[in-house]
Structure 1
Amino acid sequence: MSRSDGAVDAGHPQHASGYDSELQRLDVVFRQACDVQTRDRVLDVGCGTGQSTRAAALAAHDGSALGVDSSAPAVERARGLADAAGLGNIAFERGDAQVHPFPGETFDLAISRFGTMFFHDAGAAFTNLARALRPAGRLVMLVWQAGDRNEWDVAIHRALAEGAQPIAPSRAFSLADPARTTEILEAAGFVDISFTDVEEPVYYGPDVVAAEAWVRSFTSTGELLERLDPDGAEQGLARLRETLSAHLRDDGVWFGSRAWIVSARRGEGVLRSWWTSGTAGAHP
């Protein structure tokens, strides 16, 4: 699922618009890194409401783009937006990339904009994606770096976590460690793995009121507030509003962020290793 903290309902029109607006600066970098070619067959993993899928379909005008997401509302919304855009080379499916029966050796490029960090079994998921790619097919994904390198995460926790019980680390940062992520991808059959540092701000809204509403839609925000008594929650929200005000510019509320562009290629022997692994049992 394509979400900033694993929480935002990407199928809700307001949330979809907010999420795409939040990532507007990062999205430019991501599209350049994807470098979709005119005849590419593109798989967009955790596509949400399909902004990156539609961009891929436009670039691959002699190819195609398939978006996959586990959220039924997101997929339904994505189909409507693609229809409205008149795109004939695009499709969307609801599915879990860990076990979805993608056709083998079909796609030239698999992309994901903040969707791969939420796999419950990353090894199974990336093995399945490698199987879906053609030999030497590319994987390009955008993932968050560690939380302490992301101003938005640090600021929210400082405002709301005072006096609260700690919460489990967000899965949004599950691929933040290059060494661990490299190990996962290599085990899945990927080679030529590289990490490119991306430092671009994220947009939380035109004013403090909109920014607070956006932050309060995050699951992590709700979890932090639930750990506070009513007075503590109100104090935390007051601190949050002060933090948002401090980040208000003429063009809205912005926070610093750090992400990785992770690029890789499918290596040899992927199908053989897949059929001899436990992952094979999850497919028809």
Structure 2
Amino acid sequence: MTNADREQRPSSCDYDAELRRHDDVLRRAGDLRFHDRILDIGCGSGHTTRQAARTARAGSALGVDISASAIDRARELADRLPNVTFEQADAQVHRFPHEYFDVAISRFGTMFFGDPAAAFANIGRALRPDGRLVMLVWQAGERNEWDVAIRRALGEPRAAAAPPPAGPDPFSLADPMAVLDLLDGAGFADISFTDVREPVYYGPDPDTALDWVRGFTCTANALGRLGPADAAHAIARLRTELAAHRDEDGVRFDSRAWIVSARRARAGNHGARTPLRS
């Protein structure tokens, strides 16, 4: 992951390269300060945690992820940053320091909780009163060109009224009204949603993109339901779809996300539920 911490065009693809345009969105929305103590939920290999630590030079940044291999990699990459730490932890149940953090951030790391109500309540307890939550989550699958195109190529179009898929669902926090209720119940106030439209990057060429996309859970599940011949045809269609989305910067797809911002309410004061913003 040689380009994870550089502002340049990636020559291959990994999760940080895919979401490089979203990093700026999260950084602006987070509005981190010099002395902030920051919690990064679902930090992966720690790219966003390291960015936060560089901003909060007199504060600190803790990145947590359920994946042990991701945390091992995050620690390797952060050995020169004195104010960043990483822990393998499940944010639903981990005993964070009580009322310690100023800001909790997440770049698409909060959609996979088995018990989201418990998770957000636990995160809220880790924030000081009036501490902020700022997270990126995907909007509905049908609003994301990457999901529509991949499912179309694999012969699995997503219907807007279809039930959520079995297993991890990247769109579990797509419905603003459901998220409002969830965060309100977890003790958050001043909850707002800002529309984010930035492309995702899948690599410099269709072959790299195909290798990356075949690692997606939705792709693997769809191919696993097909016989060998049908799977081969589906992969060929998928490569054609990826090639059609190649431009001078590589293979890119439109995407839609929400920046969800909220504040931990003081006792007895849940504040306002803010309308959507474009």
TM-score of the two chains, using structure 1 as the length reference: 0.86
- Picking from 109, 113, 117, the partner of 1:115 is 109
Within a 5 Å distance, the mapping from 1:241-252 to structure 2 comes to 241-252=239-250
Q: Corresponding residue for 1:20?
A: 16
CA offset at residue 26 of structure 1?
1.1
Partner-residue secondary structure (3-state), 2:266: coil
- Picking from 165, 169, 174, the partner of 1:168 is 165
Which one has the bigger helix percentage? Answer: 1
CA offset at residue 17 of structure 1?
5.9
Partner-residue secondary structure (3-state), 2:262: strand
Q: Corresponding residue for 1:201?
A: 199
Partner-residue secondary structure (3-state), 1:268: coil
**Aligned mates of 2:121, 2:214 — CA distance in 1:** 35
Partner-residue secondary structure (3-state), 1:172: coil
Q: Contact between 2:13 and 2:208, CA under 8 Å: does it hold in 1? A: no
Partner-residue secondary structure (3-state), 2:14: helix
CA offsets 1:161-219 (integer angstroms, 9 cap, x no match) = 259xx982651000000000010000000000000000000000000000000000111
Q: Corresponding residue for 1:183?
A: 181
Q: Corresponding residue for 1:33?
A: 29
Q: Contact between 1:45 and 1:115, CA under 8 Å: does it hold in 2? A: yes
Question: How many residue pairs are counted as aligned between the two chains?
Answer: 252
Partner-residue secondary structure (3-state), 1:141: strand
- Picking from 59, 78, 95, the partner of 1:101 is 95
Q: In structure 1, what residue type is equivalent to 2:251? A: V
Q: Corresponding residue for 1:158?
A: 152
Q: Corresponding residue for 2:55?
A: 59
Q: Corresponding residue for 2:254?
A: 256
Q: Contact between 2:37 and 2:102, CA under 8 Å: does it hold in 1? A: yes
**Aligned mates of 1:60, 1:93 — CA distance in 2:** 19
Partner-residue secondary structure (3-state), 1:137: strand
Q: Name stretches of at least 5 consecutive residues in structure 2 with no aligned partner.
A: 1-11, 269-278
Q: CA RMSD for the aligned pairs?
A: 1.8
Runs of 4+ in structure 1 displaced over 3 angstroms?
A: none
Q: Contact between 1:190 and 1:266, CA under 8 Å: does it hold in 2? A: yes
Q: Corresponding residue for 1:276?
A: none
Identity %: 61
